[in-house]
């Protein structure tokens, strides 16, 4: 298996991927525009219905254990002198557009992940003598000079490692993983650093004795598949430094979705609802906040894959993401079950097109 994957890899061009991520983005914008906020613990409050939780906080506040999505009350207990200020979404959006314009000076292959984060493929870029390291530095310098904000960057031959790397020297730093160092870095990478490995999976992996990527790399592939299903397959590839996803240029993101493939199939309404209420919905909410902070959506829906791999979806028109509305959708989609078990469950929302959102807010 390993050797066949290596053969596939060796046919492909080694890519140069940069992941750029702004440092404590909303809080940094607030500190830039309000000098009195600097040098003290600061958090930006949540938007609209999320008023009770924080969007993010600066690094001074993080020393107290404060994090994104933490309830404001809890944060104030950890740090009673925390300053909590309201968000200004239009200003963050403007900054985000400006950052994207800076990216476009260096490559056309840009995949924004949220307002403050993007993958760039600079394999064929000629700027900075074609050096991805120098391009990342130049981008961060442009951002600082033009927006007075700092960004961190990761450079690697594959997407997931570029993302891991951008976190390694945060804030205001960058980390480069050249192709010849990939395996060395990956070997010592704790599994929780891999994007997509959640708390529950991590616990199961720890129970099975897997802590670092090298533990996965050195394990038996078949056993890993039996035990962890698709997650096992994906971790096995990643622990060999393999991630074949390309940087996808998207004009405008049209939908956001989250899903789970179960290592053991589930079957009842209650089992599905538990997953929706406690895992998928909170994840979808967080993703949606990052991608479309106004939460302007057109539809929300459920996706199911049955044990026989038949895929089915259901959706309804609804202008705002709401947990309770998934109850009826779940009941209706399960009418198609016909005794089959469920191997995958997902939630998704279709976003309102940007133009429409702008026009509506204009009127």
Which positions touch ligand TTP (CB under 6 A)? 21-26, 55-56, 68-69, 114, 116-117, 170-171, 286, 289-290
Catalytic residues, by residue number, are 117
At its nearest, how many Å lie between Mg ion and the CB of residue 27?
10
Torsion of CA 232, 235, 236, 240, to 10 degrees: 180
| x-or-dash string of contact with Mg ion, 308-337, rule CB under 5 A | ------------------------------
Residue 30 interface partner, choices Mg ion, ligand TTP, none, CB cut-off 5-8 Å depending on type: none
| 3-state DSSP assignment of residue 32 | helix
At its nearest, how many Å lie between Mg ion and the CB of residue 21?
4
Candidate residues 16, 21, 260, 342; the one interacting with Mg ion per rule CB under 5 A: 21
Nearer to ligand TTP, 159 or 170 (CB): 170
At its nearest, how many Å lie between Mg ion and the CB of residue 152?
8
Cα 30 to its chain centre, rounded Å, is 23
The residue count for binding Mg ion (CB under 5 A) is: 4
The yes or no reply on residue 30 touching Mg ion (CB under 5 A) is: no
What secondary structure does DSSP assign to 177-238, as a single string?
A: --GGGHHHHHHT-BGGGSTT--HHHHHHHHHTT--BHHHHHTS-HHHHHHHHHHHHHHHHHH
Positions of E strands within the chain: 17-22, 42-45, 54-57, 83-85, 110-114, 117-121, 151-156, 174-176, 255-266, 297-306, 311-317, 342-351
Residue 69 interface partner, choices ligand TTP, Mg ion, none, CB cut-off 5-8 Å depending on type: ligand TTP
CA 223 – CA 66 distance, rounded (Å): 39
The yes or no reply on residue 22 touching Mg ion (CB under 5 A) is: yes
At its nearest, how many Å lie between Mg ion and the CB of residue 341?
39
Residue 26 interface partner, choices Mg ion, ligand TTP, none, CB cut-off 5-8 Å depending on type: ligand TTP
| Helix 199-207 vs helix 221-238: crossing angle, to nearest 10 | 130
Contacts to Mg ion by CB under 5 A: 21-22, 25, 116
């Amino acid at each position: 298996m390993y050797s066949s994957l290596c053969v596939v890899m060796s046919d492909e061009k080694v890519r140069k991927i940069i992941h750029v991520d702004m440092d404590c983005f909303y809080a940094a914008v607030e500190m830039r525009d309000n000098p009195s906020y600097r040098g003290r613990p600061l958090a930006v409050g949540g938007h609209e219905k999320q008023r009770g939780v924080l969007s993010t906080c600066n690094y001074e506040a993080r020393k107290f254990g404060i994090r994104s999505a933490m309830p404001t009350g809890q944060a104030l207990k950890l740090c009673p002198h925390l300053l909590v200020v309201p968000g200004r979404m239009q200003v963050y959006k403007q900054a985000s557009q400006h950052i994207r314009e800076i990216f476009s000076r260096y490559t056309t292959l840009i995949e924004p992940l949220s307002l403050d984060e993007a993958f760039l493929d600079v394999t064929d870029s000629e700027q900075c003598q074609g050096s991805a390291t120098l391009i990342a530095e130049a981008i961060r310098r442009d951002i600082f000079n033009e927006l007075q904000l700092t960004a961190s960057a990761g450079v690697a031959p594959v997407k997931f490692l570029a993302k891991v790397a951008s976190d390694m020297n945060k804030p205001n730093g960058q980390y480069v993983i050249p192709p010849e160092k990939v395996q060395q870095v990956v070997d010592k990478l704790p599994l929780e650093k891999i994007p997509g490995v959640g708390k529950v999976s991590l616990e199961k992996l720890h129970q099975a004795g897997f802590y670092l990527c090298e533990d996965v790399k050195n394990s038996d592939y078949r056993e890993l598949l039996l035990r962890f299903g698709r997650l096992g397959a994906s971790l096995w590839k990643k622990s060999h430094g393999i991630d074949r996803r390309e940087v996808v240029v998207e004009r405008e993101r049209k939908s956001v979705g989250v899903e789970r493939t179960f290592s053991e199939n589930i079957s009842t309404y209650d089992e599905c609802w538990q997953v929706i209420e406690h895992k998928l919905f909170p994840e979808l909410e967080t993703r949606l906040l990052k991608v479309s902070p106004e939460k302007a959506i057109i539809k929300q829906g459920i996706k199911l894959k049955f044990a026989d791999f038949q895929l089915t979806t259901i959706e309804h028109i609804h202008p705002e993401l709401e947990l309770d509305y998934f109850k009826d959708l779940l009941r209706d989609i399960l009418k198609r079950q016909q005794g089959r078990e469920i191997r995958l469950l997902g939630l998704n929302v279709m976003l309102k097109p940007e133009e429409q959102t702008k026009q509506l807010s204009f009127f």
